[in-house]
Structure 1
Amino acid sequence: MDLQDPRPRVLVTRRIFAPVLERLSASLSLDVHDSDQALSPEALRERLAGCDGAFVATTERIDAALLDACPRLRAVCSMAVGYNNIDLPACTARGVLVSNAPDVLTETTADFGFALLLATARRVTESEHFLRAGQWRTWSVDLFAGQDVHGATLGILGMGRIGQAVARRGVLGFGMKLVYHNRSRLPAQTEAALGARWVDKDTLLAEADHLVIVVPYTPETHHLVGAAELARMKPGATLVNIARGGVVDDAALAQALRDGPLAAAGLDVFEGEPSVHPGLLAASNVVLTPHIASASLRTRLAMAHLAADNLLAFFSGGTPPTALNREVLARPR
C-alpha cells in the first residue's frame, strides 16, 4: 500500500481471488494480508488504523474498541452472510457502513447441508473409515445400517432462505414430511407448496427424524440447542448444523452422541473453530467438515465479488447493494 496514494485505503484481511483484487485495486489503495491465517487482534488493529475500509471474512472481530482505535474507518464489507463477528450497532453509531453477502450462497449451502444430512443418516464417513482401515471382511445384515431419509420427517430450525432451500430438497426430492420452527411463520402459500407445518421448538425436536439447524448466531441463539433440547429428540434421530458454531452446545452434543438419544450428527460449524471439541473428534457417529458449506468455486467467487461491489459502491458515492445499516449512507463519506 502506497501511503502517498490519495485513493481510499482498504485492508483486505485474507487471501482472496485475484480477479477481485484487480477490481478493487483499480480505484482503491489496498493493503492485502495475503494469507489464510487470520490476523491477530493486535495486528488487525495496527493495520486497520490507517484505513478507510475493510474487506473481511468470518472471523475478524470488529467491535467498539477496534472502531475507537481506527477512527478513519468508514466501511466494513464482509464476503460472508453471517456477521456475528461485527458489532453492527457500534458501527452504526460511528457512521461505519457494514455489508454482508446474502443470497449468492443460498443454494450452494443448501446442497451441502443436504449432502451432510445424507452422509450422516447413512453413515457414509463411518463406513468409509471402516473400509479404509481394512476392517471389511464380510457382509452382515446390519453392517452400517443407518436411517432412511426418503419419507422421513425433516425438521428445520430456522426457515430463512437457506432453510427453505433445504426444505425444497427434502420435500420435492425425497418425499419427506416437513416440520419447522421459526420466529415467524412462512406465508400460507409457501407452507402449502412445501407441505410445511409450523410447530413450537419442543414439538420440532420431538418429531424430527432429521433436524437441520440454519439459524443465525446471536446472543439469543447461543446454545439454542443444548442438553435439555437434545434430550427431547427422538431416539435414533440425526442432527445437522450448518448455521454457526455456538448455536449448538458442542459438549452436550458429544454426550448425546455417546449416550443417546442421537444416532448421529453432521457438523460444518463449531464453537471456537477451528478448534473442535475433543468429544466430537473422538465420536465415530459424527460427520465433521471444516466450515465449507458455501465452498464451491463459483459461489465463493460470487461472495467475494459482492463484498467488492459494496466497497466500490460506497467509496464512489453510490449505494452498496447489501448494506446492513443504510442509515449511515446519509452521512458525509
Structure 2
Amino acid sequence: MPSKRLSVVVTRRLPEVVETRLTELFDVRLREADTPMSRQELAAAMQEADVIVPTLSDTIDAGLISGAGERLKLIANYGAGVDHIDVATARSRGVLVSNTPGVSAEDTADMAMSLILAVTRRIPEGLALMQTGDWGGWSPSAMLGGRVGGRRLGILGMGHIGQAVARRAMAFGMQVHYHNRRRLRPEVEERFDATYWESLDQMVARMDVISVNCPHTPSTFHLMNARRLKLMKPSAVIVNTSRGEVIDENAMTRMLKAGEIAGAGLDVYEHGATINPDLRNMPNVALLPHMGSATLEGRLEMGEKVLLNIKTFADGHRPPDQVVPAML
C-alpha cells in the first residue's frame, strides 16, 4: 500500500465519535445529509475512493462494482448484513468486503423478546387505548393476552442472535426449539435446553412463537412462504428482527387478516420502508422502524470494527472481518 492516507467515502452520517476518528486516520469524505446516496452518487464515490463505507440502505450491486475505479480496493460495510453487496462480483474485481459481525446480537435479541411480549400481551393495543383516552378502568375480562411462560419458541437461525434470543426466552420460561443450517454442538444445545428440528416444516407446525433470526441469502428468500406460513397454528405468532425478505409479507398479511395467524411483531419489511398498508391497521401487529440494533453502544462498536477493518487493510493485512462468498 502507498504511504499516503487512504481515500475513504462514508455514505451515511455515523456517530460523531466514529466520524471524528475516521477523519483523524484517513482522507475522508463524510456525508452531510443523513439520507441514502443516489445510485449516481454511489457510482461517483466508487470511482474516486480507495475505500467505501456503505450501510444496509446502499445497494452495491454488480453494475456499480464493475464500474468502480481502479483505486477501489475495500468495501468496509457499517453493519453485519451484506445481502445488499454483491460479494462475488467484488471478489472477482479484487475488491475486498468487510462487515461488523457480532456487535448487534444482544441489542437485536432484546428487541425480538420485546416484540414477543408486545404481541402476546397486546401491548400496542393497550398503548393505543391509553393514548385515545377511552380507557374506563380495570376489568377482569379486558385486554386479555397470553402467558409467555411455557410457550414453545421456534428460532429460525441459531447463530449469535438466535442464541441470544434463546437465553432471554429461557428466563421467561419458554421452551426453546430451533432450526438451523447445521445442528449445534451437544453442549450448546444443553446450555439452552434446546430441541433441534431438521425439518423446518415440522417445527413451524408445532410452535407457539416463531422468531426469524437468519440472514437474507438466496436460500432464505421467502423461507417463510405462503405454504409454510399456513403450517403455523392459528394461535401462533411470528416475530422478525432479521431481514424482511425471509417472510412472504403479502401472504403473511392475508393470513393475519383472515385470523389464520394470531399476530406478528415486525422490525423489518420485505420492501424496506414500503410496508403493506394493511399491516398498519391491524391491532394484533406490532410494527417498529428497523430499530433492533439501534443502541448508541452498538453503533459505536460497529464504528470501531469499521475503523479496525480499514486500518488493518491500510497496514497491508487482511481485514479481520473480511467476507467471502463461501461464508454466505
TM-score range normalised by the length of the shorter chain: over 0.9
| Corresponding letter in the other structure for 1:187 | R
- In 2, Cα distance between the equivalents of 1:170 and 1:155? 10
| Corresponding letter in the other structure for 1:311 | I
- In 2, Cα distance between the equivalents of 1:279 and 1:205? 24
Q: 1:44 aligns with which of 24, 28, 42?
A: 42
Note the C-alpha offset of 1:22: 2.1
1:216 aligns with 2:179: no
1:59 aligns with 2:57: yes
Q: Which residue of 1 aligns with 2:184?
A: 186
Q: Which residue of 2 aligns with 1:292?
A: 291
Q: Which residue of 1 aligns with 2:315?
A: 316
List alignment gaps of at least 5 residues for structure 1: 328-333
SS state of the match for residue 221, structure 1? coil
**Would you say the 8 A contact 1:97–1:326 is kept in 2?**
no
- In 1, Cα distance between the equivalents of 2:257 and 2:189? 36
Q: Which residue of 2 aligns with 1:204?
A: 203
Q: Which residue of 1 aligns with 2:114?
A: 115
SS state of the match for residue 271, structure 1? coil
Note the C-alpha offset of 1:110: 0.9
Q: Which residue of 2 aligns with 1:9?
A: 7
- In 2, Cα distance between the equivalents of 1:325 and 1:42? 26
Note the C-alpha offset of 1:138: 4.3
Note the C-alpha offset of 1:326: 10
1:26 aligns with 2:32: no
Note the C-alpha offset of 1:137: 2.1
Task: Return structure 1 stretches of 4+ with deviation > 4 angstroms.
Answer: none
**Would you say the 8 A contact 2:88–2:325 is kept in 1?**
no
With normalisation by structure 2, the TM-score equals: 0.94
SS state of the match for residue 232, structure 2? coil
| Matches for 1:96-175 after TM superposition, within 5 Å | 96-171=95-170, 173-175=171-173
- In 2, Cα distance between the equivalents of 1:186 and 1:294? 25
Sequence identity of aligned pairs in percent?
Answer: 38
List alignment gaps of at least 5 residues for structure 2: none
- In 2, Cα distance between the equivalents of 1:37 and 1:168? 36
Query: What is the RMSD computed on CA atoms of the aligned residues?
Result: 1.7
With normalisation by structure 1, the TM-score equals: 0.93
- In 2, Cα distance between the equivalents of 1:325 and 1:34? 31
Q: Which residue of 2 aligns with 1:331?
A: none
SS state of the match for residue 120, structure 1? helix
- In 2, Cα distance between the equivalents of 1:43 and 1:204? 45
- In 1, Cα distance between the equivalents of 2:57 and 2:93? 21
Aligned residues: 322
- In 1, Cα distance between the equivalents of 2:225 and 2:145? 24
**Would you say the 8 A contact 1:152–1:209 is kept in 2?**
yes
Q: Which residue of 2 aligns with 1:230?
A: 229
SS state of the match for residue 43, structure 2? helix
SS state of the match for residue 245, structure 2? coil
- In 1, Cα distance between the equivalents of 2:122 and 2:101? 31
| Matches for 1:82-101 after TM superposition, within 5 Å | 82-101=81-100
- In 2, Cα distance between the equivalents of 1:97 and 1:236? 46
1:75 aligns with 2:74: yes
Note the C-alpha offset of 1:140: 3.6
- In 2, Cα distance between the equivalents of 1:261 and 1:138? 31
Deviations 1:116-171 (A, max 9, x none): 11111111012111221122124443322112111111110111110011011111
Note the C-alpha offset of 1:96: 0.8
